[in-house]
Structure 1
Amino acid sequence: MTGDGAAPRRPRLPLRLPAWTATLTWKAAVFITVMCCALAALLGILVHVAVTNQTVGQARDRALTRLDDATKQYEAGGRLDPGAGIDPPGLPGALRDLAVGGERGTMVGDRDDRPTVWAAGPADGGRAIAVQVDYAQGARTIDGLDRAILGSSVLAIGATLLVGSFAVTRVTRRLHQTARVARRISVGDLDARVNDPRTRDADRHQDEVATVSGALDTMASSLQGKLLSEQRFTADVAHELRTPLTGLHAAAELLPPGRPTELVQDRVAALRTLTEDLLEISRLDSRSERVDVDAVRLAPLAERVVRASGADVELRIVRDIVVDTDGRRLERVLGNLVGNALKHGAPPVSLTVDGPVITVRDHGPGFPDYLVEHGPQRFRTEGTTKGHGLGLTIALGQAQVVGARLEFANADGSAGAVAVLTLPYEDAAGAVGEDC
């Protein structure tokens, strides 16, 4: 809760790591580093403990040996050697208490800032006899060993990271290549293949990446074969239908006037249109279409499309421009979009030209969800809803031929379908804006 004039608190955003941390190379590098550090730490601790125990044990043995000699000298009434004495200064209190209690023991400590190993035992009168052994050399040995372990661990981790990164990078490079080929296949390039050399020799052992690459190539070949077979079937059926339909159309024209004749002629015309659409789709699928590029002004072309529709379509020219495109194909795209809006939508239907962006809008029930999400699909119906036929499929294919982008959406906050065609356009010179 804030008072008057207090700045509102901004919501705390969740912490997000950079995008590059999601890569397999980064994860492998972190894993290798953590495992190498853990292994180096474990081995270093084991070596450190083993060498320290050995060094300290040898020093304790020497101290206990000197303590035995000092005890014998003390009991014989002789003079103690240097480094031995009764309750000498610097003797650790815990070790003295142990010796006074009648037990012998050793302890690593310091005397005059030098590492020292003490050994103490009981003496008469509640005192302790103790000796000291210089431990500086052993301490230097352990320090040198620790530095050697640390240095060798850093070198080992660095070398392992380099080798591991190289190996992981080779794997990720092959995975990226497989992903690129999969994306090319998804957009229609069925000739794309990974062609991993490891998959060419059937007797050669294959790793997992090669297995995935081989499976992708096999899937692409199978998919390409099936699609080519379907395309040939569609083209052959359409070609075979043209001859009998031509004869049927001629025969229908010879029928006597009347309502039955009109119905027959109408159905024959619809069947001829469907056959021509199938032929056009087969040409689009085979990518055999060639673009005839010319300078096209959009406003007159849009006017021709509206007149050809034969319906009350609102034409709005926000900004008229000249684009380099195939005017015949562009007119075909817009004609199909307007025809679909008139057939499946509801009035008012509008066609808007705003520079290189052309929008066709109706006020009907809108596009089905599957069409907005995945694009038009041939003859598909959703539930009891009538399908969209081939018009939008042809429009999308012809738009791709001329290099345009065609998007389908539903109007926000109101009923209606919206088709937006964006033409490739670079030079804005000569743009004209007018209202109709």
Structure 2
Amino acid sequence: MPKIGLRWKVCVAIAVVSALVALVLSLVVHNAARASMIDNSRDAQNERVQFAQRIYESTGRLTMNARLDDPDLPAPLKLLAREGKLATYVSDDGGAPVVWAETPLKDGKILSLKATFTDRFSVLEDLDQALVIGSSAVVVGGTALGVLIGGQLSRRLRKAAEAAGRVADGETDVRVREAIGGRVRDETDELARAVDAMADALAGRLEAERRVTADIAHELRTPVTGLVTAAELLPPGRPAELVRDRAQALRTLVEDVLEVARLDGAAEQADLQDVALGDFVRRRVAAAAPEAAVTVRGDAVVRTDPRRLERVLGNLLANAARHGRPPIEVTVDGPYVEVRDHGPGFPDDLLRDGPSRFRTGSSDRAGSGHGLGLTIATGQTRVLGARLTFRNVPAEQGGGAVARLLLPRE
């Protein structure tokens, strides 16, 4: 179903209301004018029939097209005449109404007049034309006003939505109230203030959680370092190997948590340099994952931080080796770098919501690790001003997970 914007909804609503108001007022004015003209015609016809009566009774002559005992006289007038009453009657056939007037005479006859007053009712046609023009002007003006009001409101809401989206993407310095601008104080302004207050509250809570996480990880570095050193002093043997392995895993976890906390703080700055992407990827993949195959379809010079890019590439390769299956393929195509494995693919919640810390994937991708690799890769990508996306390859095309990194060009 096509989307109908707020501007056009407001425009249509105002146009419909304007048309209904104009129609009702036009009908009221038309009927009131017609009723007034009919009343005036009755009065004029009444005076004429009385004048004709006086002439007939004094001279015996019929004037003003008066008739005696007119067979076409409407039945209600005949009845009133028999009762000795002077009366008028209007016969309306859709055009100019026919106005009758009768008066009983002393000899028992009925004197009557009939007229249409066409000249008077022709004014009603001019009035109707003026009402149509006026109503059309009201509808057009109301529609234009609706477009103006609806457009302004729609623009303010659209700007508010865009600003709220930027806040959701992590731009904590964006304020919806400033984005919509203007001096209008309406419900949109209240909505913007509420969203800004909510964003400030959430930012405060996230910052507090980040500081707690960073403080805990920082405090753990010293005892963990001591634990790793002590493990190295253990005598050779299987128990010592297990202790050293777990101590090193704990050290890696603490370092990763610290890195995530720094990335969450949005204070990290990239040391940008011009890098030949194809040659850079070949060297780093050969050092980090010699078993992975590298294909350069098109080289490009990108503007990036080599240390952070190496970190992103290493995490993607480690994730593919840990949760996927060989062969691991790395493809460079201009500013794009793709890392693909042939395992079961990314879990649906990761594709839907993005990487989340301490989530290692579904049961079919279970293994070692703490679920921070892709989280760190995404955070470093954001610092680089790059874009990292995830998708799965259909089973008929070999299956597997694909992480695609788009870097800014030189």
Q: Please, what TM-score do these two structures have when normalized by structure 1?
A: 0.78
**What is aligned with 1:348?**
327
**What is aligned with 1:292?**
271
Instruction: Give 3-state SS (helix, strand or coil) of 1:351's partner.
Output: strand
Superposition deviation, residue 303 in structure 1: 2.2
Question: Is 1:107 aligned to 2:107, yes or no?
Answer: no
CA distance in 2, matches of 1:312, 1:350: 9
Report 1:152-167 matches (<5 A). Answer: 152-157=134-139, 160-161=142-143, 165-167=147-149
CA distance in 1, matches of 2:160, 2:77: 78
Partner deviation per Cα, 1:2-57 (whole Å, 9 max, x = no partner): xxxxxxxxxxxxxx76x6xx221221111111101101110110121012012112
CA distance in 2, matches of 1:339, 1:23: 47
Structure 2 unpaired stretches of 5+: 80-87, 180-184
Q: Which amino acid aligns with 2:346?
A: F
Superposition deviation, residue 85 in structure 1: 4.0
Question: Is 1:177 aligned to 2:159, yes or no?
Answer: yes
Report 1:1-150 matches (<5 A). Answer: 22-70=4-52, 78-85=60-67, 96=72, 98=74, 102=78, 105-107=89-91, 117-119=98-100, 130-133=112-115, 135-150=117-132
Question: Is 1:379 aligned to 2:358, yes or no?
Answer: yes
**What is aligned with 1:190?**
172
**What is aligned with 1:403?**
385
Q: Structure 2 vs 1, CA of residues 285 and 121 (structure 1 numbering), >3 Å: closer, same or farther?
A: same
Q: Structure 2 vs 1, CA of residues 67 and 289 (structure 1 numbering), >3 Å: closer, same or farther?
A: same
Superposition deviation, residue 99 in structure 1: 5.7
CA distance in 2, matches of 1:102, 1:122: 10
2:11·2:144 contact (CA, 8 Å) conserved in 1?
A: no
**What is aligned with 2:344?**
365
1:403·1:424 contact (CA, 8 Å) conserved in 2?
A: yes
**What is aligned with 2:84?**
none
2:343·2:399 contact (CA, 8 Å) conserved in 1?
A: yes
Q: Structure 2 vs 1, CA of residues 364 and 149 (structure 1 numbering), >3 Å: closer, same or farther?
A: same
Q: Structure 2 vs 1, CA of residues 167 and 288 (structure 1 numbering), >3 Å: closer, same or farther?
A: same
Instruction: Give 3-state SS (helix, strand or coil) of 2:343's partner.
Output: coil
Question: Is 1:425 aligned to 2:409, yes or no?
Answer: yes
2:96·2:118 contact (CA, 8 Å) conserved in 1?
A: yes
Deviates more, 1:376-385 or 1:293-302: 376-385
CA distance in 1, matches of 2:280, 2:202: 39
Superposition deviation, residue 165 in structure 1: 5.0
2:345·2:399 contact (CA, 8 Å) conserved in 1?
A: yes
Q: Structure 2 vs 1, CA of residues 109 and 275 (structure 1 numbering), >3 Å: closer, same or farther?
A: closer
1:360·1:418 contact (CA, 8 Å) conserved in 2?
A: yes
Higher relative contact order (CA 8 A, sep 6+): 2
CA distance in 2, matches of 1:186, 1:255: 49
CA distance in 2, matches of 1:167, 1:100: 58
Partner deviation per Cα, 1:84-121 (whole Å, 9 max, x = no partner): 34699xxxxxx9263699457433579xxx95744266
Superposition deviation, residue 216 in structure 1: 1.0
CA distance in 2, matches of 1:351, 1:183: 33
Partner deviation per Cα, 1:289-308 (whole Å, 9 max, x = no partner): 22222222223322233223
Instruction: Give 3-state SS (helix, strand or coil) of 1:45's partner.
Output: helix
Superposition deviation, residue 168 in structure 1: 4.3
CA distance in 1, matches of 2:240, 2:388: 39
Give the helix-richer structure, 1 or 2.
2
CA distance in 2, matches of 1:229, 1:82: 103
**What is aligned with 2:82?**
none
Match of residue 412, structure 1, among 365, 388, 394: 394
Structure 1 unpaired stretches of 5+: 1-15, 89-94, 198-205, 427-436
Q: Which amino acid aligns with 1:96?
A: D
Q: Structure 2 vs 1, CA of residues 412 and 369 (structure 1 numbering), >3 Å: closer, same or farther?
A: same
Instruction: Give 3-state SS (helix, strand or coil) of 1:331's partner.
Output: helix
CA distance in 2, matches of 1:143, 1:133: 19
**What is aligned with 2:303?**
324
1:83·1:133 contact (CA, 8 Å) conserved in 2?
A: no
Q: Structure 2 vs 1, CA of residues 249 and 164 (structure 1 numbering), >3 Å: closer, same or farther?
A: same
Q: Which amino acid aligns with 2:399?
A: A
Q: Which amino acid aligns with 2:232?
A: E
Partner deviation per Cα, 1:117-170 (whole Å, 9 max, x = no partner): 44266999xx99652446244324423433443444345445545555555455
Question: Is 1:391 aligned to 2:367, yes or no?
Answer: no
Q: Structure 2 vs 1, CA of residues 210 and 262 (structure 1 numbering), >3 Å: closer, same or farther?
A: same
Q: Structure 2 vs 1, CA of residues 366 and 128 (structure 1 numbering), >3 Å: closer, same or farther?
A: farther
Q: Which amino acid aligns with 1:379?
A: F
Superposition deviation, residue 237 in structure 1: 1.5
